[in-house]
Structures are given as structure tokens and as C-alpha cells.
Amino acid sequence: MLRAAFEAAAAAAAPAPDPPPNINPVPPACHAPAAAGDVAIVLERAAAASVATLTPGGDVHNKFGRFLLDDLLGRPLGRRWLAAIRPGAAPPPSGGVGGVVRLLRMPRTVTATATATATAAGGATTAVVYVHDAALIGLKLELTPGAVIVEAGTGSGGLTVPLAAAVAPTGRVHTYDFHAGRSAAAAADFAALGVAPVVTVRGGVDVAAAGFVGVADGDADAVFLDLPDPGGVLPHAARALAPDGRLCCFSPCIEQVARTVGVLSAAPAVWHSVETLTCVVRVWDTYEAELQRLEETLDVADGDGDGDGDGDGDGDGDGDAPAAAAAAPVGDDEMGRRPTRRPPAPASDVPGGLASDKPTVLPEPGPVLCKLQANVKGHTSYLTFARRCSSE
């Protein structure tokens, strides 16, 4: 008893252990209530997302139903969003909601999530540089924080955001577009996405005639061209690039690639390492195969699972179906399905108390197989890369 009292006193005098560290802290901004004007990501499924600006009285329509923006205001995002039910309509039998999507908060800083949704945020109808192409462009242009890149052809800004993500926080993206209105719309989106501090937008500029206004010669580490005639802008790109700078030309057709490569190849003192690539997404399905034992194969041939081989289900081997089963298709159940292999009944359930002499066949786990999906998405563009020579 004295020992127990001593141990209790020692435990009370010992200092309390430090709490375990929070190894995965959640940023406080994720818990902040949503307010009017915030931008949210509507995640319908893994490969489908859209962007919604939270407006009082507004709504979002998709195949999952109608979603009221008022349901989000004043509440934290990062949760499920239930579709609204029309007044007077009976709730669906699934539990009272017409559909469910997920809501994510649009980051106010340069992140990969903003990259994936920047095109949806822009209202302009332009050619889209998809995520897999953008990843290859950033890799081949060797973009790192602090780099300077020139982009000709802003469009909706779908590529400008990942370029800014790669060079932030100390780099710079100079982006040009011939259409002044489209540049203004893209600039507003960049401000909403939080990338404006590293992006300089210049609209209404014909880079083929005026060059890259505001960029000093040799100041750019990389140049990206998404133009109808990239070959006509290559002299300006050569002047803007630093020695060993990288070039990428986005081309929708092989004819434009041929013209661009012809101009690059005609100036070996200026350009080298010319190559054209495409990026194809190949999706594989992974599943566990079901193996069929030899006994199961014989049962399927038998058709009734009684092992006599006649398929009538009475076990006598004469092949005559019982009268009660004559109306049903031989070997099929009431739904027209083939019977499955079942273990034999216990001895107490078998007439005469005798168990079946057929061995019990237990299911076995099959191997994990991978299969390429039948529909493979083709490439979205031709990407021609080259390097600026160190000296002419």
C-alpha cells in the first residue's frame, strides 16, 4: 500500500509531457468564413472542376443540380455542398438532396490549384494550354524562382498562371496580347488569383512589329510564343533572350511547326537543340482479376451445380428437368443469370444427413492487372523548343 501511495505521489510531481506537435497544421485561412466576392473551386469529380464567384442571390448549375451561393456565405469552405430542392418537389429517395459537390477555397497566392483553374476563371474564348502541356513547358524551359519569362499571346491567361507559379516570388512574367480587351480581362483574373505581383500585362501590342516592349535585350531567361506566325517573332525573341536562353513555340498544326523549324534551322548561329514534342495523356485502369477454378468451369458446363452433368438440377443424371423447373430456362435463374458456385450445404441440411462429397471451393484473390483505357486523349498542341546560342 505504501508503494502504491509513493508511485501516485511521484506521478503527480512529474511534469506533464509536452503535447505532440501538429505535423499537418491547417492554415487559418481555410477556416475563415466565406464572404461575398470570394472565389471558390467547385469540384464535381476528380477530373472536372469549375470556378464560382460568391455572389448573394446567385447560384451554380451543373448536372448534379442547382446550388445556391447563399448557402456558402458566412460559412467555411472545404466541405460538401448539397444541391437545392425546388419548392414543392418531393425529396429524392437517396436522402433528401439532388446532388453533392465539393467546395474548395480558391488560393489567394500562386499555387498549383490556381494553375488548374485559371482557364475556367477567364471569360475569353482562346486556345487552351492544358495542365500536362503546361507542365512540360515549365520543365523544358527550366523555370525556377527568380527567372524572367516573356509570353506572347496571353489569351485567357491559362498558361500565365503556371508560369507565374514557377518563377514566384522574385521572378517576372511579361505577357503580351494583341487584343487590349482580352488583356484587361486577364489582368483582372490575375489580380483575383493573387499572381498580379509577378505578372506584367501589356495589351494592344503587336509583338511582330514592335517586339517585346519593356524588356531589355538579353534580360529574359525564356520566351514562350503562342502566335499565328511564331517565325516572324523569332528575331525579337533572340534579342530578348540571354545567352543559353530557352524558347518554346506553341503550334496547333504541323504546317506551322514546319515553318517555325525552318526559320530556326536557317539560323544555326542563333539557335540550337531544336526539337518538337507532343504530350499524350494515357490513363490506365487498375483492377483485381477474378480467377476461375477448374471445378467452377465444370459447374458452368453442368449448369445446375449438382455435379451430375445433365443440367436438370435433380442429381439423377437423366437430363429430365423437374416439372416445377420446366418453365424456367435451363441453368438460369429468374433474372436470366447463370448460377454461381456455392459451397455444399452442411450435413444437417442435406436429406439423409449426408454431406456433399464435392470439395468446397473458396474464392481466391486474383492478380492485380492494369489495362490501358480504350479512349486515349490525343495531344493538344505541338511544342517546339530551342536554345539561344551563347554567342553569335
Residues of the binding site for S-adenosyl-L-methionine: 156-159, 177, 206, 226
Q: What 3-state class would DSSP assign to 275?
A: strand
- Distance CA(80)–CA(10), nearest Å, equals 49
- Distance CA(348)–CA(355), nearest Å, equals 8
Give CA angle at 123 (120, 125), nearest 5°: 95
With cell 423437374, the residue in question is 322
| Binding site as annotated, residues | 156-159, 177, 206, 226
- Distance CA(160)–CA(206), nearest Å, equals 18
Q: Is the dihedral of CA 327, 332, 333, 335 positive or negative?
A: negative
- All three cell numbers of 108, joined, read 489567394
7 contact partners, CB below 8 Å, separation of at least 6: none
Q: Which residues pair with 2 in a beta bridge?
A: none
Q: Are 350 and 211 in contact (CB under 8 A)?
A: no
Residue 384 backbone phi and psi in degrees, to 5? -105, 125
